[in-house]
Structure 1
Amino acid sequence: MEQIISNIRSFNRFYTSHIGLLNQQFLDSPYSLTEVRILYEIGAHENITAQHICDLLNLDKGYVSRLLNSFLKKDIIQKMKCEDDARSLIITLSDKGQQLLHELQTKSDKQIASFENKLGTEEKSMLINSMRTIQNLLSKDYNNSMLAKEVTFREGLKPGDIGYLIYLHGLLYARESGYSLQFEGYVAKTFYDFLGSYSEADDRVWLAEYNQQIIGCIAIVHHNSEEAQLRWFLTHPIFRGTGIGKRLLNVALEYCKERDYSNIFLLTTSIQERAISMYKKAGFVQTHAVESTQWGKPLYEERFDLKLI
């Protein structure tokens, strides 16, 4: 906890200094950052009230009222009665206010451009993705479904995918199931065998990505015209419960139906209770189980089958 707090404070000190938030005036204008944020919110919303501004920016109502009165005296904003509620006043920018906001945004754009011009394409992408993640994680109504909205899906393999999938399996299964390092070797061997006979026509891999990193996967491996194997089904813990795993599983099973497979099977262990629950809901039935000790854990090796025809 102390390390997290220290890191956040360090980032805050760097960021506020880097973009000039410690200056009393914003971008060498007569206005503070708070005043500019209020102007921006007024410009961004067609029907905004003082209370709405307070809620958006988490500001004291009296403080906002004083700033709005100052803007009104300078002919920067206008107030008019709300048609739906006579007690509320709708706030809009005057022509002068619109011009002021445009000038400030132009200055801000130039400042941002001076930062990002120093970065390459991949560095810019990393910066934007990191900012989006920070925004989602620190949102007052955060839940992992917010991150899930940023997830993209793709079919097929690219260089580096297999290596990252081996890493994810080794990391997550050690952390969650207590598997030994030998499990990672086993996963590496299964992917080695897969690539040795991989056929784009018959085999399929689907991946879910967040910030261009793989956070979910599933594969269908062709065995013969009647049967295929479901393999390497995995969802990163942060994204579980968001429907991503279910979507991957459904896509894989739909593909099997399109290929007219009569049977789909998978091999797992009794420790994988969450995944097994999903398999059972999809219609898989356990057809074999044998007691074993694998990867440093006593467990049952299990086979599940799903009859499609």
Structure 2
Amino acid sequence: MNATTSKIRSFNRFYTSHLDILSQHYLDSDYSLTEVRILYEISESKTITAQKITEILNLDKGYVSRILKRFLKENIIAKVSSPDDKRAFNIELTDLGKELLHSLNNKVDEQINHKIEKLSFFEKENLINSMHTVKNLLSESKPVRSDITYRHEINPGDIGYIIYLHGFIYGNESNFSNEFEKYVIKTFYNFLENYSPEYDRIWMAEYNNKIVGCIAIQHQLVEEAQLRWFLLDPSFRGLGIGKKLLTDAVDFCREKKFKNVFLLTTSMQDKALEMYKIAGFELTWSKEVQEWGKVFSEERYDLKL
């Protein structure tokens, strides 16, 4: 068993025990968690068959059949002829079944509220965001463009988190030393010390209220600006986020009537360099340097507007 598997199993043991779902009688009812989940699926669907339930919950067909027979006997569900196929039957909750599920849902709400009542607002937000992350990582569906939101208002903690992302991503992808993070801190200090809402801006892409990408424009001279801190979490590449951030930054420069926008980068940033060139940036100078534990070419690119 590797470390990742061990940690996941440890979490599973904690979570199932914490929610009291191991008992055969879920929430002190006469039903197991699986049986309650079947009731939930029936209530959520206008038309559902026994076969569909087995597919959704990945359960044995015979096992589901036995549960449904019990529900029929207790008048919790009813079979209704399908309007599309007279040989098939849809399953619906009876009034008694709806009352039962409503009662169980109220108990679940009470249980959850009790378990989180001592958490602060920020702890609750962290809990929900973490659950959302787990759900998306284990789901077959991955984030799509519509899941990403953008903003340019600077909130408390934003800059610190962006500095962390630079250190973490460049440390792992480019193997830069801790000196690089020190450099990023200095550049952000300069940015904030001379920040002008009229001519400076930083854009952030967020997923699930968490920054996954950024870019900034910092004014230099009256007619010149610098593009800085173009970064994207590797997990979110390929969704068009970087293209949008870069486009918004260049459009901002045109709106503010800068005549030139430049950026400083390294020859190691292949993907970013490709995007800069597509956007019209041209290499204006290059020199070999030894910095942050690596030897590379430091490069400047300019875009005349």
Normalised by the size of structure 2, how large is the TM-score? 0.93
Contact kept? 2:204, 2:213, Cα under 8 Å: yes
SS at match of 2:133: helix
Gap regions ≥5 residues in structure 1 = none
Which residue of structure 1 lines up, in the alignment, with residue 293 of structure 2?
A: 296
Cα distance in structure 2, aligned partners of 1:288 and 1:87: 76
Using the TM superposition, give the Cα deviation of residue 114 of structure 1 relative to its aligned residue in structure 2, in angstroms: 0.9
Distance in 1 (alpha carbons) for counterparts of 2:208 and 2:122: 11
Separation in structure 2 between the aligned mates of residue 94 and residue 222 of structure 1, nearest angstrom = 67
Residue matched to 1:71? 71
Match of 1:224 among 221, 226, 229: 221
Question: How far off its partner does 1:210 sit?
Answer: 3.7
Structure 1 residue 137 corresponds to structure 2 residue 134: no
Q: What are the superposed Cα offsets for residues 193-241 of structure 1, whole Å, 9 maximum, x if unpaired?
A: 2222111111001112345443211101112343211100001122222
8 Å Cα contact 2:199-2:256 kept in structure 1: no
Consecutive aligned runs of 4 or more in structure 1 exceeding 6 Å deviation: none
Within the alignment, does 1:161 sit opposite 2:129 as a pair?
no
- CA shift, 1:151, in A, is 4.1
Deviation at 1:83, TM superposition (A): 2.4
1:228-264 deviation line (CA, Å, top 9, x unaligned) = 1110000112222222222222221222222233322
After the TM superposition, which residues 71-220 of structure 1 pair with which residues of structure 2 at under 5 Å, given as runs?
71-139=71-139, 141-143=140-142, 145=143, 150-220=147-217
Partner of 2:242: 245
- In the TM superposition, residue 98 of structure 1 has moved relative to its aligned partner by 0.8
1:291–1:84 CA distance, 2 compared to 1 (3 A)? same
Give 1:52's aligned amino acid. K
Show the counterpart of 1:236.
233
Taking only the aligned residue pairs, the percentage that are identical comes to 57
Cα distance change of structure 1 residues 261 and 98 upon mapping to structure 2, 3 Å threshold: same
SS of the residue 1:223 aligns to: strand
Partner of 1:4: 4
Q: Compute the displacement of 1:112 (Å).
A: 1.1
Q: Deviations over 1:40-83 (max 9, x none)?
A: 01001111122221121111112112211221222211222322
- For 2:259, the equivalent position in structure 1 comes to 262
Q: Is 1:279 matched with 2:237?
A: no
Residues of 2 paired with 1:201 and 1:19: CA distance? 51
Alpha-carbon shift at residue 105 of structure 1 (Å) = 0.8
Superposed displacement of residue 87, structure 1:
4.1
Structural RMSD (CA):
1.9
In structure 2, relative to structure 1, the CA distance for the partners of 1:293 and 1:55 (3 Å cut) is same
Classify the secondary structure of the residue corresponding to 1:166.
helix
Structure 2 stretches of 5 or more lacking a match? none
292-301 vs 44-53, which moves further = 292-301
Aligned pair count reads 305
Give the C-alpha shift of residue 153 in structure 1: 2.4
